[in-house]
Amino acid sequence: MTTSDTGPTAGPAAERAALVRAVAEQHVDARGPLLPILHDLTEDLGHLEAEDLALVADVLNVSRAEVHGVVSFYHDFRTTPPAEHRVVLCRGEACQAVGAQELYELTRERRAELGRDVEVEQVFCLGNCALGPSGTVDGRLHGRLDASALTRLTAGWRR
């Protein structure tokens, strides 16, 4: 497959395709190039689209199915644009033993109250088990979370 087979030759889609191809080609000679490529693309673009994955497969000379398999296996690789803000709550056993389940359900319910464009997701263990319920708020780790702590940590999102 040549570049001209993969979509428009001008405009944002073509720019994106060129970036994806460039990133993939940077890593193509590495051992196990797929994960570094996906990490870099996620960092640059925020999420991965089907067209991106087809290009990566093309550069690495692997099937699209193989790339899709890796992307869908790891939850931190996303195929939809991320929300403006992100709360990720731990639902591992240690946090669950100190109320993470209730906190997760409550936070999901009041997601709209936290801000206009907020995602509430779950994760299974952040390694902060002694200080549960744990979670990340826009990527920063917090322990001993409860509803009021989340309200305080997200205060800036409602201004």
Binding site for another protein (CB under 8 A): 127-128, 130-131, 134, 141-144
Minimum CB–partner distance for residue 96 and another protein (Å): 17
Cβ closer to another protein: 42 or 128?
128
Task: Determine the Cα–Cα distance for residues 72 and 69; give it in Å rounded to an integer.
Answer: 5
- We find the least distance from the C-beta atom of residue 151 to another protein, in angstroms, to be 16
21/86 with CB nearer another protein = 86
Cα angle 6, 12, 14 (rounded to 5 degrees) comes to 25
Closer residue to another protein in complex, CB, 116/144: 144
Question: CB-wise, 13 or 131, nearer to another protein?
Answer: 131
Supply 101's token pair: 């389940």
C-alpha angle 102/126/159, rounded to 5°?
A: 65
Shortest distance (Å) from residue 93 CB to another protein: 17
The nearest distance, CB 90 to another protein, in angstroms, is: 11
Q: What angle do CA 26, 30, 31 make, to 5 degrees?
A: 155
- Of 75, 78, 76, 40, which Cα lies nearest the Cα of 56? 40
